[in-house]
Amino acid sequence: MDQFLQHLANAAALSGTYALLGIGLTLVFGIMRVVNFTHGEFYALGAYSAYGLVVLLKLDFFTSLVLAAIIGFAFGSVVEYVLLRRRKLSDIDGVMLIMIGMMIVMQNTEQLIWGGVAKLVPSPFSQEPLVWGAVSIAPIRVFVVCAALVLLGGFYLLIERTRLGTAMRATFQDRDAAAMMGVNVSAIYTLTFALGASLASVAGALLAPIFVVNPTMGDLASLKAFAIVILGGLGNLVGAALGGIALAIVEEFGAGYISTDYRDALGFLVILLVLLVRPQGLFAAKERIG
Amino acid sequence: MIKLSARGAVFPWRGLACALLLASLPLWCRDRYILSVATSIGIFVIAAISLNLLLGYTGQLSLGHAAFFGIGAYTSALLSLGFDLDLKFAKLVVAPKPVWIAFIGAVIVSGISGWLIGKLAFRVRGAYFVVVTISFAQVSRLVALNWVDLTEGPMALNSIPPLSLWLPGVGVMPLVTKAAKYWVVLVFGIISYLAVARLVRSRIGRALIALRENESLARSVGISVTHYLVIASIASAAIAGTAGALYAHNVQIVDPDVFLFVYTVTMVIMVIVGGKGTLAGPVVGGILFGAFPEVLRDYARPEVQWIIYGVAMIVILVFLPEGIVPALSRLRFWRARTAVVSATGPTLAGKNA
């Protein structure tokens, strides 16, 4: 039972991060229909920003988080403006390949600038774990979950309660109709992509003190994000958050009770299963898959 | 619609001349390094040809192609080395098999995995299909990495025997020279090219192209979508597995890195740059992107090379989305047209590149 509770705590800590990774990707897919292969690279960009700001510029970790979000946002808007503005986004495969090209460019630029050696970012909290009964958890992980919850809540409010969110949802539902109602669709696209990039970047910066920072970290992050988004149903924001929780539970309990070696494989097996049994995702009402 | 009208010979004289030119390479080039580079380019060209069948002719963006390559490599390596597995209920011992038996085994096993993945993945389309194929490659890589009893995991499978040739009077002769390895790859390259050429010009190929152009319309005239896509998937996987087996016996070591996403991406770049949906496209793209690293080696670090590939891929996709081969043939078609436009009249039935 103690072991079970510990796994549950770990899964809770992990699910916050996964939800953050997932909603950025699902936002971009839902509104733009772009399968964003650079998502993991923005995650790596955030992690390297944290390294640069905290270790090299000796800034405070929390300030660095905000700056990482801004860097991700700025870089994301540039990528969208240069690569996707004026592209026919309905050519899903063509756009996907362009994003793969950009992923290669970003990942190797990171490698060129920072080198292949993994970097460490010091945690702003004490290393002493918080102990609660038989369950122990590192303070930084608790902070990550709280930060993720705040961001998720903020995003939910942004999408559901603001004028901007209404415009985004309108574009999501029918871009032509939205354009006719006076929504600046191009601006919405750039903003959406930049927000997605910014979320990935914050996730990278948040996790930098927990994991090591290396140039290929984006690969696994991208794949995990895909898994989460598929679990929740592509383009479904709440689904992505739930998908993050589901993947965290599967991985954590699979690693605990089946095999740690196959921890990452379990996630992919779950995606395969979900796509075969319920292709629209676990939490989506209905979604075209053709 | 250019492809639909092609009824010309599958292997025209020009192709024969190209094949002979390629075959003569070891005769006038004695540089062992160049020959070994040419051999690995050949292996990648075969992989690209197989990917083109899915990417170009069915229009399905399969991003797990390295999995079939890796399954071919591992199967051939394991069968030729022999292995024993201690399953809980039984002990499975496989004695080392002759290399060609192992090779054929690799083609069959990767074909079967293509059938399996085809059956599963083609139930979904678009972004979902892409994610299924990527996940499949990742699972394969993790199995190769973690099933240490079978695959040796990160320690890799070593001292895989080279392919051999039986000659009357000489007996079995292992193919160890660079020239021999090059020729073997060339032979399989030509076989793969012809197999794909034959396939896409058959009834199956026409069905696939119809599906690519308009799936609902093709379905409405009675083309069984899943049936044909699965056939394409089997053929594509078997050819990719052949490339993998050639790789295993050529470099004589296989590790789980053969499943990495970058290899799939490399194949995709070759097909896209050369021209998807054309027979010559993957060959041209494969040779270009196989030779690039060697040309750039002295001037640029690997990261810089990759950045150049990424940029090249984006530039080609933006400005030349069809790829090099269709662009060149259109250029030639235009010249020919302006020269003899009055004699033949406008025709859309261009030469198939």
Mean pLDDT of chain B: 82
Shortest CB distance from B124 goes to which of A101, A102, A289? A289
- Asked if pLDDT for residue B51 goes beyond 90, the answer is yes
Nearest-CB residue to B146 (from A92, A97, A262): A262
DSSP of A17-55, one letter per residue? HHHHHHHHHHHHHHHH----TTHHHHHHHHHHHHHIIII
Are A93 and B59 a contacting pair at CB < 8 A? yes
Q: Within an 8 Å CB–CB cutoff, is residue A89 touching chain B?
A: no
| Separation of alpha carbons A34 and A20, rounded Å | 18
| Across B202-207, average pLDDT | 86
Q: What is the pLDDT averaged over residues A137-145?
A: 84
> In angstroms, what CA-CA distances link B67 with A245, A274, A285, B14, B75?
29, 21, 33, 34, 12
What digits encode the pLDDT tens for the residues B137-181? 888 888 888 887 788 877 778 878 887 777 777 777 777 788 888
Is-contact A191 A239, C-beta < 8 A? no
The winner for highest mean pLDDT among A221-225, B46-50, B156-160, B276-280 is B46-50
Residues present in chain A in total:
290
Spatial distance between the Cα atoms of A35 and B327, rounded to a whole number of angstroms: 27
Q: Is B212 on the interface with A (CB under 8 A)?
A: no
Q: What is the pLDDT of residues A24-72, one digit of tens each?
A: 888 888 888 888 889 999 999 999 999 999 888 888 888 889 999 999 9
Instruction: Determine whether the interchain pair A100/B132 forms a contact, defined as Cβ–Cβ distance below 8 Å.
Output: no
**Residue B226 CB: number of other CB atoms within 10 A?**
12
Kindly indicate the confidence band of residue A284, based on its pLDDT and cuts at 50, 70 and 90: low
DSSP state of A189: H
Does A275 sit within 8 Å of B142, measured CB to CB?
A: no
Helix axes A237-257, A2-32, angle to 10 degrees: 150
The number of C-alpha atoms within 13 Å of A108 and in the hemisphere containing its C-beta is 19
Instruction: Give the tokens for residue A110.
Output: 């990171």
**How many contacts (CB atoms, under 8 Å) link A and B?**
116
Query: Can you give the residue ranges of every domain in chain A?
Result: 14-215
- Please, which residues 82-141 of chain B have a Cβ atom closer than 8 Å to chain A? 120, 123-128, 130-132, 134-136, 138-139
d(CA A186, CA A77): 11
- Which positions in chain A touch B304 (Cβ < 8 Å)? 108, 112
- The whole-model pTM stands at 0.83
3-class DSSP state of B299 = coil
| Top-confidence residue, A290 or A11 | A11
Residues paired with A130 in a beta bridge: A137
Q: Which of B120, B127, B272 sits opposite A234 (nearest CB)?
A: B127
> In this structure, are residues B241 and B103 in contact, taking their beta carbons and an 8 Å threshold?
no
- The yes-or-no verdict on residue B338 having pLDDT over 80 is no
**CA nearest A260 in B: which residue?**
B146
DSSP letter string over B21-43? HHHTHHHH---HHHHHHHHHHHH
pLDDT reported for residue A290: 38
Q: Which of B128, B301, B317 sits opposite A279 (nearest CB)?
A: B128
Closest Cβ opposite residue B310 in set A101, A111, A112: A101
* Helix B261-274 and helix B281-296, axial crossing angle in degrees, nearest 10: 120
Q: Taking the C-alpha atoms of A287, A246, A24 and B60 in order, what is their torsion angle to the nearest 10 degrees? A: -50
Instruction: Report residue B316's pLDDT band, with 50, 70 and 90 as the boundaries.
Output: confident
b/e map of B31-47 (b: 16 or more CB within 10 Å)?
Answer: eeeebebbbbbbbbbbb
Cross-chain Cβ contact B125/A290 below 8 Å: yes
The answer on pLDDT for B95 being more than 80 is no
Residues B74-94, mean pLDDT to the nearest whole number: 81
pLDDT of amino acid A13: 81
Predicted pLDDT of residue B74: 92
Band (pLDDT 50/70/90 cuts) for residue A102 is very high
**A112 with B317: Cβ contact below 8 A:** no
Query: A82 and chain B: CB distance < 8 Å anywhere?
Result: no
Query: Is residue A226 scored above 90 in pLDDT?
Result: no
pLDDT for A285 equals 54
Average pLDDT of span B24-52: 87
**Closest approach of chain B CAs to the CA of A164, in angstroms?**
27
